[in-house]
């Protein structure tokens, strides 16, 4: 039986130790029928790109609360491209100031979500972004 | 270049993509498996099973580290976690314990969801293991779903099966029940720094003393599946050793790796390696035949006819067994 599941890597790059948000999102995506690979805290961009490659994911979700998103996001996007994973959609969650949004989108981040974001929206946006690609 | 060819050439992105194709049982995946099959049969397949929370992932992490550092072997890890029976979704969290392995190009970790399989593995696990085998990995560590008592599929797939226990999980009655303990080639008591380790060891030891070593021919769906290469009567029988580990600290790992090597050596000298290899392929063939026959049956029987028969069953017009007969006789007219 051929059945393509959406595979999502949920990762926390950088040094902040708050993974509740990442876990809530991982659980919500699971309940939406997706396969979520959860990698835990304090991942380097290299570790995240390597896991994304080995797991052949469609989506990478990054949770960043440390304020380092303008350094971490572009680095991870570059590494994904370097590995040939240009089709992977990157989503970002955490404390992200509004003024950074245009630059993040320009770099290639597909969606950004702050506190209070609705998990339904995240699920729909992921499905929408992947449908566009197909 | 085909997907299979680029995998033989060592391309990691192609490897990752083929694993997805195999997992989804796509035509491309099947074609590549056919091409790769002649290159398989070289890796040592090591299964790691046991109840949830006994420390399987941490143990796999330590074993992989040891094989990399002490023996320079190329190591693949296939880690299976359960899918939700309701939504089909899954959270695959085994990588959390395997972060020490990242950054090493000779390690490849792949998580997979069980997707409705009940035996502790997913349906596609055997295929994914074949891909890693063909790709030249020397050691393939297969971590099952946290398994309770009867998730024993791993013993049909792996050459060497480790059953991981931890102190405080059950008494000596648990230890004499049929099922998971019987499939152990090596018993591992992980978290051996915890209180109660003596009791666990005692219970497992007495189990081993009660057991009389048996020829390992597997029941498959209630039937024996015979391994035609037989172990000679005078061959030495393997008594599963008990190894104590503390995987968070790496304690007991070198001894465990040694025990695994002794088991591999035993399989080779006793002829069991070939017997298991043959039994494994037989089981796989039988499963594929079942799948193919069911698929053919579904093509032959129109859904409408199927529904009608179900209707008649609901009305108690026909019994389930009569329904089977009428559907099988009614097909390919």
Q: Hey, is the C-beta of A121 within 8 angstroms of any chain B C-beta?
A: no
Q: Please tell me which of the candidates B16, B17, B89 has its beta carbon nearest to residue A35.
A: B89
ipTM: 0.91
Which pLDDT score is estimated for B148? 66
Q: Tell me, what's the pLDDT at B109?
A: 97
CB–CB contact B90 A50 (8 Å)? no
Closest chain A residue to B82, measured at CA: A35
The beta strand positions in chain B, using DSSP E, are 44-50, 75-81, 90-92, 107-113, 139-143, 160-165, 186-189, 219-220, 223-224, 242-244
In a 3-state reduction of DSSP, which class is residue B46? Answer: strand
Closest CA to B11 of B141, B136, B142: B136
In angstroms, the separation between the Cα of residue A35 and the nearest Cα of chain B is 5
Return the pLDDT at B300: 86
pTM, to two decimals: 0.88
Kindly state the average pLDDT of the residues A8-32.
Answer: 92
Place of tokens 């792996």: B158
Residue of A102 and B330 predicted with greater confidence: A102
**Cβ-based contacts of A55 with chain B (< 8 Å):** 16, 110-111
Mean pLDDT, residues A37-48 taken together? 92
Partners of residue B90 in chain A, C-beta under 8 Å: 30, 35-36
- What residues have CB less than 8 Å from A82, skipping those under 6 apart? A49
Instruction: Work out the burial of residue B35: count CB atoms within 10 Å of its CB; fewer than 13 is exposed, 13-18 middle, 19 or more buried.
Output: middle
Q: How many CB pairs under 8 A join A and B?
A: 84
Spatial separation of the C-alpha atoms in residues B187 and B256, rounded to whole Å: 10
Which residue of A lies nearest to B98 if distances are taken between CA atoms?
Answer: A39
Using the Cβ of A86 and the Cβ atoms of chain B, whether some distance falls under 8 Å is answered with no
pLDDT of residue B98: 92
Q: Which residues contact A26 (CB under 8 A, 6 or more apart)?
A: A10, A36, A38, B91
Nearest to B197 by CA among B258, B256, B245: B245
Confidence of residue A2 (pLDDT cuts 50, 70, 90): very low
Q: What is the pLDDT of residue B329?
A: 81
Per-residue tokens: B181: 């303990």
Chain A residues touching residue B99 (CB < 8 angstroms): 39-40, 43, 47
* DSSP letter, residue B37: G
Taking 50 as the pLDDT cut, the residues of chain B under it are 215, 217, 219-233, 332-333
Alpha-carbon gap: B179 to the closest alpha carbon of chain A (Å): 29
In the prediction, which pLDDT does A26 show? 95
- The answer to whether B180 touches B150, Cβ cutoff 8 Å, is yes
Task: Please give the pLDDT value at position A38.
Answer: 95
Quick one: what percent of chain A has pLDDT higher than 90?
Answer: 83
Q: Is A55 on the interface with B (CB under 8 A)?
A: yes
- Asked if B275 and B231 touch (Cβ cutoff 8 Å), the reply is yes
| Per-residue pLDDT at B283 | 84
Residues from chain A that touch B89, judged by Cβ atoms under 8 A, are 29-36
Residue B173, pLDDT score: 58
In whole angstroms, what is the distance from residue B96 CA to residue B89 CA?
19
Q: Which residues of B touch A (CB under 8 A)?
A: 12-13, 16-17, 19-20, 24-26, 83-84, 87-93, 95-96, 99, 102-103, 108-111, 113, 115
Q: In angstroms, rounded to a whole number, what is the distance separating the alpha carbons of residues A37 and B90?
A: 8
Query: Given a cut of 60, is residue A109 above it in pLDDT?
Result: yes
Q: Hey, is the C-beta of A119 within 8 angstroms of any chain B C-beta?
A: no
Structural domains in chain A?
7-133 (3.40.50.280)
Rounded CA gap, A122 and A125, in Å?
A: 5
């Amino acid at each position: 039986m051929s059945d393509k599941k959406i595979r999502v890597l949920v990762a926390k790059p950088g040094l902040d130790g708050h993974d509740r948000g990442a876990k809530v999102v991982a659980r919500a995506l699971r309940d939406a029928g997706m396969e979520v690979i959860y990698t835990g805290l304090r991942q380097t961009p290299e570790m995240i790109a390597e896991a994304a490659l080995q797991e052949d994911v469609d989506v990478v979700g990054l949770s960043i609360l440390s304020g380092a998103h303008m350094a971490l996001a572009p680095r991870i996007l570059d590494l994904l491209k370097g590995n040939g994973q240009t089709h992977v959609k990157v989503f970002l969650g955490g404390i992200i100031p509004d003024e950074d949004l245009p630059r993040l989108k320009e770099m290639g981040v597909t969606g950004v979500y702050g506190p209070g974001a609705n998990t339904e929206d995240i699920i729909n946006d992921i499905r929408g972004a992947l449908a566009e690609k197909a | 270049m085909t997907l299979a060819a680029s995998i033989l050439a060592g391309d990691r992105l192609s490897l990752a993509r083929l694993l997805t194709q195999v997992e989804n049982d796509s035509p491309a995946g099947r074609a590549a498996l056919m091409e790769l099959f002649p290159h398989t049969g070289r890796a040592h397949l090591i299964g790691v099973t046991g109840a949830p929370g006994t420390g399987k992932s941490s143990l796999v992490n330590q074993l992989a580290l040891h094989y990399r550092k002490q023996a320079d072997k190329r190591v693949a890890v296939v880690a299976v976690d359960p899918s939700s029976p309701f939504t089909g979704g899954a959270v695959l969290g085994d990588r959390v314990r395997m972060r020490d392995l990242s950054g090493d190009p000779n390690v490849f970790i792949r998580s997979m969801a069980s997707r409705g399989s009940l035996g502790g593995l997913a349906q596609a696990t055997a295929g994914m293991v074949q891909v890693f085998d063909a790709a030249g990995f020397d050691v393939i560590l297969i971590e099952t779903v946290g398994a309770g008592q009867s998730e024993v599929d791993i013993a049909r797939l792996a050459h060497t099966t480790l059953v991981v226990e931890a102190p405080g999980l059950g008494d000596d009655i648990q230890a004499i029940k049929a099922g998971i303990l019987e499939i152990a080639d090596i018993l591992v008591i992980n978290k051996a720094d915890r209180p109660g380790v003596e009791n666990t060891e005692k219970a497992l030891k007495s189990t081993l003393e009660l057991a009389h070593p048996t020829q390992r021919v597997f029941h498959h769906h209630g039937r024996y599946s015979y391994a035609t290469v037989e172990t000679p009567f005078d061959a030495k029988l393997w008594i599963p050793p008990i190894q104590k580990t503390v995987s968070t600290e790496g304690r007991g790992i070198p001894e465990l790796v040694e025990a695994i090597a002794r088991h591999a050596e035993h399989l080779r000298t006793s002829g069991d390696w070939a017997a298991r290899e043959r039994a494994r392929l037989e089981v796989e063939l039988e499963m594929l035949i079942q799948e193919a026959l069911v698929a053919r049956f579904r093509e032959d029987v129109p859904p409408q006819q199927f529904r009608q028969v179900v209707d008649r069953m609901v009305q108690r017009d026909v019994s389930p067994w009569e329904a089977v007969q009428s559907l099988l006789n009614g097909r390919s007219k």
